[in-house]
Amino acid sequence: MREFDYIIVGGGCAGLSLAYELEVNEKLKNKTLAIIEPRAEYKKDKTWSFWKVAAHNFDDCVKKNWENFSVNIPKKTNYLECNIYPYQSIDSGLFYEKINSKLKDNNNISFFKDISEINSKNSFVFNSVPSIKKDHRNLWQHFCGVEVESKNDFFDDEIFNLMDFDCDQRESVHFFYTLPYSKTTALIETTWLSKMNDDSQKDYDTQIKDYIENHLNLKDYKIIYKEKGAIPLFYPMIEKAKNKINIGTAGGMTRLSTGYTFLNIQEHSRYIRENIENITHAKKYKIGNKYRFLDEIFLRVLEKHPEKMPEIFFKMFKASPKTVIKFLSNKSNFFEDLSIIFRMPKLTFIKALFY
């Protein structure tokens, strides 16, 4: 059986980002890499969006950049600017195509459907397949989005809506998210933050139809793409091993209060590339402890008081947009953290320290 220097388990966002980062920085000239990916073909299956607070390799896969956004609760809307850190949406179809066409030029890189097809005993493994134990206490961000095309110009594509809480909450946390790509196309998502212990919130199609037709008042449209997913708002189990690093969702790259993962994956890939020659001894890369701590408290409040969350998110975005964006993207300094923390309902958060 063939042996490889490196194995990437899972050729999704993190696996391919890492392979690309190693390849374009010539770390695979004299090293072999096996990518284990069971999917039969690559096609667009996700849209990755984030504030661009750091450089990444995929500007040419960006579908659209925005410099303005809004957040709203019933009867109140906050309009914000993000020209310093534009919000970007990456088309996963373009991302997969770009990476796969680059990787196929290097004979040192091979794809397999299952790890049992190779000898993995002496390789260094980058694993992106999360180990998630079912637990009814775990919180998830679960969502469904559709890309719609309207017959006539309808959307204002200069501004996106990050969170619209003016919708049915069902004793949980629920908002809609609208990314207008053009005057006639937009991705519209229904998003829930909840424990997902039953399917009662998963009537996504009905929720989206009702929002588009009765809230946005768009009647003449068709659905041209659909995506669905669930992001764990907890860390998957990581089994420690000398010759293995977990990456992506499996490696704790999700910011638990927001679900944002894409840019953290890119930063983790860069860190691995910088340390690849000494990877067995490199320090573990993680999202800063300060954010882990603050997110844990935030999620405790969310769990205990879902009814307070629309107002809490709305208040958070009353801080300067630059500060909130840096905070949500793990780039804030101590004073910026304080300016967010001071906007939170103090007693509720202090009590959450002791739940």
Ligand X SMILES: Cc1cc2nc3c(=O)[nH]c(=O)nc-3n(C[C@H](O)[C@H](O)[C@H](O)COP(=O)(O)OP(=O)(O)OC[C@H]3O[C@@H](n4cnc5c(N)ncnc54)[C@H](O)[C@@H]3O)c2cc1C
**Choice from 21, 23, 37, 336 touching ligand X (CB under 6 A):** 37
**Taking the complex as a whole, how short is the minimal distance between the CB of residue 102 and ligand X, in angstroms?**
17
- Point out which span in 43-51, 153-161, 198-206, 327-335 binds ligand X (CB under 6 A): 43-51
Residues 70/146, Cβ–Cβ less than 8 Å: no
Q: Does 116 bind ligand X (CB under 6 A)?
A: no
Pick the closer one to ligand X by CB: 47 or 72. Answer: 47
Residues 190/144, Cβ–Cβ less than 8 Å: yes
- Point out which span in 11-19, 63-71, 152-160, 266-274 binds ligand X (CB under 6 A): 11-19
E strands, the chain, in order:
6-9, 33-36, 47-51, 62-66, 68-73, 76-81, 87-91, 109-112, 124-127, 140-150, 160-164, 173-180, 185-194, 221-232, 244-246
**Taking the complex as a whole, how short is the minimal distance between the CB of residue 347 and ligand X, in angstroms?**
32
- Point out which span in 45-53, 197-205, 296-304, 307-315 binds ligand X (CB under 6 A): 45-53
Q: How far apart are CA 321 and CA 344, in angstroms?
A: 16
Q: How far apart are CA 144 and CA 216, in angstroms?
A: 17
Could you give the 3-state DSSP secondary structure of residue 219?
A: coil
Closest CA to 16 of 131, 115, 100, 92: 100
Residues 56/264, Cβ–Cβ less than 8 Å: no
- Those residues with Cβ within 8 angstroms of residue 189's Cβ, 6 or more apart along the chain or in another chain: 143, 144, 145, 146, 176, 177, 178, 208
**Choice from 4, 6, 7, 12 touching ligand X (CB under 6 A):** 12
**Taking the complex as a whole, how short is the minimal distance between the CB of residue 253 and ligand X, in angstroms?**
7
Query: For residue 9, what are the CA distances in angstroms to 30, 238, 256?
Result: 20, 14, 23
**Taking the complex as a whole, how short is the minimal distance between the CB of residue 160 and ligand X, in angstroms?**
12
**Taking the complex as a whole, how short is the minimal distance between the CB of residue 6 and ligand X, in angstroms?**
15
Q: Does 128 bind ligand X (CB under 6 A)?
A: yes
Q: Does 144 bind ligand X (CB under 6 A)?
A: no
Residue 336, CA atoms < 13 Å, CB-side half-sphere: 17
Pick the closer one to ligand X by CB: 155 or 260. Answer: 260
**Total site size for ligand X, rule CB under 6 A:** 29
Q: Does 49 bind ligand X (CB under 6 A)?
A: yes
**Taking the complex as a whole, how short is the minimal distance between the CB of residue 127 and ligand X, in angstroms?**
9
Q: Does 129 bind ligand X (CB under 6 A)?
A: yes
Q: How many helices (H) and strands (E) does the chain have?
A: 9, 15
Residue type, 128: S
Residue nearest to ligand X (CB): 12
Q: Does 13 bind ligand X (CB under 6 A)?
A: yes
Q: Give the contact letters, 205-234, x = binds to ligand X (CB under 6 A), - = no.
A: ----------------------x-x-x---
Q: Does 141 bind ligand X (CB under 6 A)?
A: no
Which residues, 239 to 278, sit near ligand X by CB under 6 A? Answer: 248-250, 259-262, 265
Query: And the tokens for 353?
Result: 């320290």
Binding site for ligand X (CB under 6 A): 9-15, 36-39, 46-50, 128-129, 227, 229, 231, 248-250, 259-262, 265
